[in-house]
Amino acid sequence: MRPFHLAFPVTDLNATRSFYVDVLQCSVGRSSDKWIDFDMFGHQVVAHLVDSSNHPSTNSVDGDDVPASHFGVILTMDQWNQLHDHLSNFSITFIIKPKIRFKGETGEQATMFFLDPSGNALEFKAFKDDKQIFAT
């Protein structure tokens, strides 16, 4: 599988750098005074400085209001548990607390949602069975 590239808006590069490096343990690639490349689990995500941030709308998924605009990584269950444990060292406010979604159904997965310092919604998930990632 090839790494994906995603660019997203942020309103404070210093807070963004601290969050993605210290909290999510991403390494920093190239950067300028307007953007920063991060290595997020082998994928390139780029924070671009903007003047303001729009708050996305939500959609109901398994009883939760999921931000329509969000991104993250599908981890192994061990990686998801390690990240969940690591996040307990920080004052993270979950917009959707860590949980198992679709329990006992097709696509059963661990998921958690939280915001970065610019209000971008992040989802980290892990499937009980990776063969179910695209199952219908």
Question: Which among 95, 114, 120 has a CA at the least distance from the CA of 10?
Answer: 120
The percent of residues above 90 in pLDDT, for the chain, comes to: 63
CA–CA separation, 135 vs 118, rounded Å? 33
CATH topology match: 5-49 vs 59-132: yes
Kindly report the CATH number that applies to the domain delimited by 5-49.
3.10.180.10
Residue 82's pLDDT band, with cuts at 50, 70 and 90, is very high
CA angle 49, 121, 24 (to 5 degrees): 80
Section 112-128 average pLDDT: 94
Residue 128 gets which letter from DSSP? S
What is the per-residue pLDDT for 55? 55
Q: Where are the alpha helices (DSSP H) in the chain?
A: 13-18, 77-87
Domain 59-132, what fold?
2,3-Dihydroxybiphenyl 1,2-Dioxygenase; domain 1 (3.10.180)
**pLDDT by residue (tens digit) across 14-66?**
999 999 999 999 999 988 899 899 999 999 999 999 877 565 578 788 889 88
**Domain positions in the chain:** 5-49, 59-132
